[in-house]
Amino acid sequence: MSKSFREISVSALNQRLEKARQDKQTAGGILRIIRRGEVCYEHAVGYANVEAGTPITRKSIFRLYSMTKPVTMTALMQLYERGLISPEDPLTKFYPEVSHMPVAIEEADGSVRYEKQKRPPTIRELYTMTSGIPYGGDDSVAARKIRDAFDLAPETANADELMHTLATEGALCFQPGEKWMYGFSHDILGAVIAKVTGMRLGEYMRKNIFEPLSMNDTGFFVPKEKHSRLVTAYEGKDGELRPMTEPEYLDHFLQDAPFHSGGGGLTSTLDDYAKFCQMLLYGGEYQGERLLSAKTVQMMASNQLNDAQMASFGWRDRGYGYGVGMRTLLSKRMLNGSVGEFGWDGMMGCWMAVDPQEDMTLVYLQNAMPYATVGWSMMPIIYGGLV
Query: In terms of Cα–Cα distance, which of 341, 338, 351, 337 is closest to 380?
Result: 337
Strand partners for 134:
183
Note the maximum CA span of the chain.
62
What is the reported pLDDT for 150?
85
What is the reported pLDDT for 3?
77
Q: Percentage of the chain with pLDDT > 70? A: 100
What is the reported pLDDT for 281?
98
Mean pLDDT within 357-380: 97
Measure the CA–CA gap between 2 and 144, rounded to whole angstroms.
Answer: 51
- pLDDT, tens only, 216-264: 999 999 999 999 999 999 999 888 999 998 988 999 999 999 999 999 9
On the question of pLDDT at 1 being above 70, the answer is no
What is the reported pLDDT for 370?
93
**Where do the H-state alpha helices sit in the chain?**
7-22, 69-81, 123-127, 141-152, 159-169, 185-197, 201-205, 270-281, 294-300, 307-310, 374-384
In order of start, what are the domains of the chain with their CATH numbers? Answer: 7-77+201-384 (3.40.710.10), 85-197 (no CATH)
- pLDDT, tens only, 100-132: 999 999 998 889 999 999 999 999 999 999 999
What is the reported pLDDT for 138?
83
What is the reported pLDDT for 358?
98
Measure the CA–CA gap between 18 and 53, rounded to whole angstroms.
Answer: 16
